[in-house]
Amino acid sequence: MATENKNLSQYDKTSVPDARAFRFGIVVSEWNDTVTEGLFSGAEATLLDCGVLPENIVRWNVPGSFELTFGCKKMLETQDVDAVIAIGSLIRGETSHFDVVCNAAAQGIKDLNVKYDCPVIFCVLTDDTLQQAIDRSGGKHGNKGTEAAIAAIKMASLS
């Protein structure tokens, strides 16, 4: 799972399915917005680079990662999307709150994938420090948003 020695921004466009006909939802948590805006930029740029039309990218914001499940659920129910990307950044504090919200976000998004016939991609960073998050949202370890966009295209093309 470690990305310490891997740059997350590298992808081979020839191995990515044609994305021109797809429509994507992106739900962005406002907590640690330096990080989540970096992830969003990486995801959006990658979708556009792979041929997705700007009008086929729908962005919604939610207050925190805990709210990603509901935001994605509403996106699935009201927008005609082929895949949704859930973007968040959780940074460990001094209490167990971090673990509670991490588990809730992961479980909630997993449940959406089971319930709905549309993939929801987990682009939630769970880091010990802000620097680790910055390094993975457009920093020295690349951008996990890019990886999420490629996953979204690949999953959309399954249906």
Q: Which residues bind ligand DLZ (CB under 6 A)?
A: 29, 31-32, 63-67, 88-91, 93, 97, 101
Is 141 designated active site? no
Taking CB atoms, the residue at the shortest distance from ligand DLZ is 64
Least gap, CB of 64 to ligand DLZ (angstroms): 2
Q: Which is nearer to ligand DLZ, 82 or 127 (CB)?
A: 127
Kindly name the residue from 6, 13, 97, 110 that is annotated as catalytic.
97
| 46, 106 Cβ separation under 8 angstroms | no
Contact criterion met (CB below 8 Å) for 75 and 84: yes
| DSSP label at residue 86 | E
Q: Is the dihedral of CA 46, 36, 78, 107 positive or negative?
A: positive
Nearer to ligand DLZ, 56 or 89 (CB): 89
CB nearer to ligand DLZ: give 17 or 64: 64
CA neighbor of 126 nearest in space, from 44, 31, 16, 40? 31
Tokens representing residue 119 in the block? 């993939």
What positions carry a catalytic annotation? 97
